[in-house]
Amino acid sequence: MAVSALLALVLCTLILPVLLFLVSVKLWEVYSSRGDARCALPLPPGSMGLPFLGETLQLLLQRRKFLRMKRQKYGLIYRTHLFGRPTVRVGGAALVKQVLLGETRLVAAQWPASVRSILGANTLSSMHGGAHRDHKKAILRAFSRDALQLYLPVVQEEVRAAVSSWLASDPAGDPVLVYPEMRRLWFRVAMRILLGFQPDQIQDQEQVLIEAFEEMTRNLFSLPIDVPFSGLYRGLKARNFIHSKIEENIQKKLQEPDSGSQYRDALQELIDSSRRSGEPLSMQAIKESATELLFGGHETTASTATSLIMFLGLNPDVVVKLRQELLEQEQRGMDLQNLSMETLQQLTYAGCVIKETLRINPPVPGGFRVALKTFELGGYQIPRGWNVIYSICDTHDVAELPDREEFRPDRFLGPTPPDRFQYVPFGGGARMCVGREFATVVLKVLLVELVSRCRWTLLNGPPAMKTGPTVYPLDHLPTRFTRLA
């Protein structure tokens, strides 16, 4: 009798829970993998992970390793379950082209719930139709050629100060950690020229603002559970602090619309656009738009700038060519101390270096869409309501280019590749990144300052890279800078 009771106890406490778990996993797989019964095409291959959680935890913990394993196992199109939604991930020029050009017809932009909660509904990435078009026009005015020309002195001032601080660091002391330095530099630039903050406003609270912004971005992609100490809870708390500081600046702009600034920043354009449209000025809408601008103008630029220094440190022959281009332009009259849009446009090879950096290390790994109707993609059905992620990094990795794993900026001096969707660091279609020209300009300014003033050595060699949410080196790229003789 005692033995029977013991067996029953073991069954109830050990075996039965395991069986129930296995059954629930199987039922979850069947339930979450149901496609559109009206479509004869199969679903893409793949797995849906754990009940309710899907494969979100694996993605958050493993990032690029998870994506690489998935691609190796299933190819360029597969299904999974991420951030609470059944999802199809696609890569490769042909598939990505269909997704990007299918905006409003096949798909619509829809980022994960955690991103929408933290950034808000009044952002360019969340808007559709006429609202998206009007908002985009307002932001594009802040990124026009004339606006960028007015921003250049501020960009040069901040970049020059940062480079000087790196050169002044003790050769026998701690090295410069490039990634944190780049985040600090481009945060200051974005706060000044995109949001109109004055240097003294940033200086007073720079560290707390940067820490809050890092906390917000670190938790952008998290489980959509808003409870104390969860990723979403921490992200929202940091976001609220940033919003409070942005609101202070908005109030100042409303009270003193012409406060002596030499240019009209993007935040002012948003305020004026709201006035011109005759719609009530929504403080929440402008704060959310400003936060999105801060993320786009700082986070992705810091990632690419770090990759630039890394690739140039690993390829000294490219630095020689950059110096040669600068020398030739100086002989033609370029003033390195006072750069202009016209002179920056002459730096063709510098532009190729930036493009090649974005090809190998795109700062954003992909973009999110939702299927508006069931459609065919690569011989599979994409059911209505499923999320679709187009992969920038996978698309670049499989592009039909010679020696695609090598850092070769010269490849961009030749003719455009037959399919332009082999290279999509800024996305494509109606939602191509509005800040692409801004990014190119500020990165060229950085290249001019670095190449004309510095030599640098990577102390750890090629670093391991991680994504969270943008690409960055795990060791933060410790580097020694010395003055160019």
Out of 209-213, 260-264, 376-380, least confident range: 260-264
Residue 448: how many other CB atoms lie within 10 Å: 24
**pLDDT given at position 123:** 83
Over 80: is that where the pLDDT of 301 sits? yes
Q: What are phi and psi of 157, to 5 degrees?
A: -60, -50
Over 90: is that where the pLDDT of 5 sits? no
Domains by residue range for the chain, with CATH: 38-483 (1.10.630.10)
pLDDT confidence tier of residue 20, bands split at 50, 70 and 90: low
**Mean pLDDT calculated for residue range 370-387:** 95
> Considering only CA atoms, which of 246, 269, 220 is closest in space to residue 434?
269
Query: Hunting for tokens 């402008």 — which residue is that?
Result: 286
Which helix (H) or strand (E) segment holds residue 467: the answer is strand 465-467
**pLDDT given at position 259:** 53
Q: What residues pair up with 471 in beta bridges, in sequence order?
A: 467
**pLDDT given at position 347:** 96
Which of 10-24, 34-48, 138-152, 383-397: highest mean pLDDT? 383-397
Over 70: is that where the pLDDT of 292 sits? yes
Cis geometry, peptide bond prior to residue 469 (ω within 30 degrees of 0):
yes
| 3-state class (DSSP) for residue 34 | coil
Residue 384: how many other CB atoms lie within 10 Å: 15
**pLDDT given at position 313:** 96
User: What's CA 199's distance to the chain center, in Å?
Assistant: 26
Q: Report the share of the chain in percent with pLDDT over 70.
A: 89
**pLDDT given at position 3:** 62
Q: What is the DSSP code string of 359-423?
A: HHS-SS-EEEEEESS-EEETTEEE-TT-EEEEEHHHHHHT---TTTTS--GGGGGSPPPS-GGG-
- Tell me the per-residue pLDDT of 379-436, one tens digit each, with 9 for 90 and over: 999 999 999 999 999 999 999 888 889 999 999 987 765 578 999 999 888 888 888 9
Q: Which two tokens stand for residue 71?
A: 């691609």
Average predicted confidence (pLDDT) for the chain: 86
**pLDDT given at position 396:** 93
**Mean pLDDT calculated for residue range 6-10:** 61
Over 70: is that where the pLDDT of 83 sits? yes
- Give me Rg for the CA atoms of the chain: 25
Beta strands 85-90 and 387-391: pairing type? parallel
Q: What residues pair up with 366 in beta bridges, in sequence order?
A: 391
**pLDDT given at position 257:** 59
Q: What are the b/e assignments for 294-309, b being 16+ CB within 10 Å? A: bbbbbbbbbbbbbbbb
Over 70: is that where the pLDDT of 6 sits? no
Strands (E) in 33-187, as ranges, are 77-82, 85-90, 107-109, 176-177
**pLDDT given at position 23:** 56
Q: Which two tokens stand for residue 216?
A: 């917000």
Out of 23-32, 265-274, 440-449, least confident range: 23-32
**Mean pLDDT calculated for residue range 301-309:** 96
Question: Which position has the higher pLDDT, 287 or 177?
Answer: 177
CA atoms within 13 A on the CB side of 162: 26
pLDDT confidence tier of residue 477, bands split at 50, 70 and 90: very high
**pLDDT given at position 14:** 62
N- to C-terminal Cα separation, the chain: 90
- Tell me the per-residue pLDDT of 309-331, one tens digit each, with 9 for 90 and over: 999 999 999 999 999 999 999 99
**Mean pLDDT calculated for residue range 81-98:** 92
- Tell me the per-residue pLDDT of 234-283, one tens digit each, with 9 for 90 and over: 999 999 999 998 888 888 777 765 555 566 777 777 777 777 766 666 78
**Mean pLDDT calculated for residue range 114-133:** 84
